[in-house]
Chains A and B, each alone.
Chain A
Amino acid sequence: MSDPLHVVVLVKQVPDTYSERRLREEDWTLDRDATDPVIDEIDTRGVEAGLQLVEEHGGEVTVLTMGPERATEALRKALAMGAARAVHVQDDRLAGACALQTSVALAAALRTLAPDLVITGNESTDGRTGSLPSMLAERLGVPQITSAKALRLDAATRSLSAERVHDSGVTEVTATLPAVVSVNEKTNEPRYPNFKGIMSAKKKPVSVLGLDDLEVDPARFGTGATSTTVLAGAPRPARAAGETLTDDGQGNSVATVVEHLVAGRLL
């Protein structure tokens, strides 16, 4: 390839899945203050995939995120891993954005970056709709390979090939750059940032873009223009306290377990 490869990796800050997550009772949206934010684990695999490709073919990784100011932490982690620069789409009008609004803003930001390849996680652990990669591919008018592993790039033909893991097997696929790729938990093992990486990350450029910097229709944004609305929500009813027994070491508890299963028509 004559030009160096430009890979943009999307990262997202999410509530730590190891802590309790809550919805706000006023509007049933995620209470982001109630949990510890971390970079979505899957996104570190996206960064790793991007870094591996530019290490092999030459080029640079840019990381892109959308979120409030503190989402910068997710960008710094990616920069410490080895990304060259970061772009942060940050605008108060994006608070509470739905997936469709998010895809409009991110697609507009991606157009300004003109990448050869966009890499995302296959689904974020908080939203879990898994729809953003394909929404972006549609808006950018490019092919997508989701849940990809064994990514290989033929730089001469700009042809990307991968194994795509889906619910009923594995498909070998190819697509021509530019393209959108999403990675899953089996794609790779992300590297840990070393001390040098962490220090140099502090000096790497992070540019902030607001909606006014993007070619978008501002009327599409704001909580009044979301494409979905939650009408009502309810926390899971507490489970009735069950019975706990202590086995005598000889399996005397088994009869009681079987009785329960029979009573519940499970046997």
Chain B
Amino acid sequence: MSQPVLVLVDHAGGALRPITAELLTAAARLGDPTAVVVGTPGTAQQLAAELGRHGASRVFAAEGPDAEAYLITPAVAALAAAAAQTQPVAVLLPSTIDGREVAGRLSARLESGLLADAVDVRLAEDGTVVAEQSVFGGEYTVHARVTVGTPIISLRTSAIEAQETAGTAEVVPVELVVDPAVSARVVAEHPEPAGDRPELTAADVVVSGGRGVGSAENFALVEALADVFGGAVGASRAAVDSGYYPSQFQVGQTGTTVSPQLYIALGVSGAIQHRAGMQTSKTIVAVNKDPDAPIFELADVGVVGDLFTIAPALTEAVRERKG
């Protein structure tokens, strides 16, 4: 049996988030995937079959009322307890806001090195864990390893394709001890209403608007093109700062980094700030009226022209094509 690799299970209300299967797939490259579920009693049992199908051979159940009453520290406690029991080759977590925070605390508690936002992991010939990271918005790819303690690695959403196996997982309880004195308490949760569009980081197609879109109302053109692809809508910082679109949709260095199959930039000039958030996209299409706009240096297909003519025509053409 290979060495255990701990995976923090990301779930909401008893449903797995897609990153969990990606983490288990990554864990299988390093050793024996071992899931750690932090939740209210019964959660691990409910998730065990699905976790097993994605490669987990064991599921540690760290369950109790504290799991959802406090922020971050329950997951840290559960992972620390599981690590003490299993001496894992690595601990893998989602590179979400919560995941990275759990990783930070765990790294200090275990005095172990942390590699954040990895896009791939592998086991080197000498048995060490190597993580691949895409830094500075994809300007560089680096391979790094942890040299102190147990490697703690957070994995970027959608970086690895999840695989299924025919496995089943056995549930093992682990004690959940949370110190209220060092924990922030949850008063209320307000989940974001799930819109019809996919999340920016998970979308295969992203259509972004920039300053050239000109107004909040005109973003309807951007949305319409995104919707025919079933894609997500993004915005450049200039568009967000001008109040055209809400800041959570900002793509760029100070916003979200995306790497979709297709990125369509409408009226985006392509400042470095924006390019850092999208230049690892597989195919880039840009429409801008300024032939000197830097976005054209990146574009696989660049169109110098009026987005108010081209975007609706493209929307119509794609709709026809898709039938």
User: Which residues does A use to contact B, with CB under 8 Å?
Assistant: 17-23, 28, 41-42, 98-100, 103, 122-123, 125, 128-135, 137-139, 141-147, 161, 164-176, 179, 185-186, 225-236, 239-240, 242-251, 253-258, 260-262, 264, 266-267
A231 lies within 8 A of B313 (CB): no
Query: For the complex, what is the distance from the CA of A266 to the CA of B253, rounded to whole Å?
Result: 26
Main secondary structure of the interface of A (DSSP, over half): mixed
In the complex, are the beta carbons of B190 and A171 less than 8 A apart?
yes
* Interface assignment of B105: CB less than 8 Å from any CB of chain A: yes
Q: Which 7 A-B pairs have the closest CB atoms?
A: A247-B305, A227-B113, A131-B104, A134-B104, A251-B313, A129-B116, A227-B148
B187: chain A residues at CB < 8 Å are 161, 171-174
Report yes or no: A167 in contact with B104, Cβ–Cβ below 8 A. Answer: no
When chains A and B are docked, how far (Å) is the Cα of A135 from the Cα of B112?
A: 11
Number of interface residues of B (CB under 8 A): 86
Q: Pick the interface stretch among B26-34, B139-147, B211-219.
A: B139-147
Contacts of A166 on B, CB cut-off 8 Å? 96-98
**Contact yes or no, B146 A228, CB < 8 A:** yes
B107 at the interface (CB under 8 A from A): yes
Minimum Cβ distance to chain A for residue B188 (Å): 4
The chain B residue sitting closest to A29, CB to CB, is B142
* In contact, B147 and A226 (Cβ under 8 angstroms): yes
| A132-B104, A167-B96, A172-B186 as given contacts; A125 in contact with B310, CB under 8 Å | no
A residues near B112, Cβ cutoff 8 Å = 100, 227
Q: How far is the CB of B127 from chain A (nearest CB, A)?
A: 14
Say which residue of B97, B105, B130, B297 sits within 8 Å of A147 (CB atoms): B97
Query: A235 to chain B: which residues have CB within 8 Å?
Result: 139-140
Closest to A186 in B: B247
- Return B274 CB to nearest CB of chain A, in Å: 10
- Is the CB–CB distance between B143 and A170 below 8 Å? no
**B116 & A130 in contact (Cβ 8 Å cutoff):** yes
Query: Is there contact, CB below 8 Å, between B285 and A230?
Result: no
Contact of A17 among B73, B143, B276 (CB under 8 A): B276
Q: Does B109 contact A (CB under 8 A)?
A: yes
**Can you give 10 A-B contacts (C-beta < 8 A)?**
A21-B139, A22-B139, A131-B100, A134-B105, A172-B189, A236-B280, A242-B300, A261-B285, A262-B321, A267-B321
